[in-house]
Copies of this chain bind each other. A is one copy, B any other.
Amino acid sequence: MEVEVKFRVVLDEIKEKIEKLGAKLVREEIQEDLYFDVPLPNLLRIRHIVNTGEVILGYKEIKDKRNEEFDEIEVEVGDFDKTREILKRLGFTEDIWVKKHRYVYKLGNVTFELNRVEGLGDFLDIEVISDNVEEAKREIWKVAGMLGLKEEDVEPRLYQELIKGKRVT
């Protein structure tokens, strides 16, 4: 299980704090995600990592109401457009694009995904892979506290929900 909590942050400030904690930058990615219209709590997307050329087909099942627990399957695919075409032919409709610049830091078994999301602002996902959700949450909140993040900084909505929300207002 992928357990993560998403916080609204100011990128430059939080980046400095994460580095001061001793976390190491392991990856930097320009991600362009195309989501397909499958019914929640499921998510289907093709991710194009522009700077590495990788393309990843991803399927997620959201396991809780706060969008913090995910069962995720990802597989690398050889071509974005062909994968997109196969999904379309299978009847899936394209829903929305989410584009972001992501810095990935690691500290022990905690992963920090610091995202500048196009049109939405800056977010930090603190993530732990574990089947013990309670313990994972404790770990996440421990480091969140060290970064000065609080309950009111949590953003429970998915990026695609935020983008759609902006689009209709």
Residues of A within 8 A of B (CB): 38, 42, 44, 57, 59, 61, 73-79, 82-83, 85-86, 89-90
Docked-complex contact B59 and A73, CB < 8 angstroms: no
Give A58's nearest chain B residue, CB to CB: B86
Distance A74 CA – B86 CA, assembled complex (angstroms) = 8
Give A80's nearest chain B residue, CB to CB: B75
Docked-complex contact A85 and B73, CB < 8 angstroms: yes
How many Å from the CB of A8 to the closest CB on chain B? 31
Docked-complex contact A82 and B74, CB < 8 angstroms: yes
Query: Which listed residue, B42, B57, B61, B82, touches A73 by the CB 8 Å rule?
Result: B82
Query: Which listed residue, B42, B44, B59, B76, touches A78 by the CB 8 Å rule?
Result: B76
Query: Which listed residue, B42, B61, B85, B90, touches A38 by the CB 8 Å rule?
Result: B90
Asked whether A77 and B79 contact (CB < 8 A) given A61-B89, A89-B42, the answer is no
Docked-complex contact A89 and B59, CB < 8 angstroms: yes
Distance A77 CA – B74 CA, assembled complex (angstroms) = 10
Docked-complex contact B42 and A57, CB < 8 angstroms: no
Please name 16 further chain A to chain B contacts, defined as beta carbons within 8 Å, in addition to the given A59-B86, A75-B77, A75-B82, sorted by A numbering. Answer: A42-B89, A44-B90, A57-B83, A57-B86, A59-B89, A59-B90, A61-B89, A73-B82, A73-B86, A73-B89, A75-B78, A75-B79, A75-B83, A76-B79, A77-B78, A90-B90
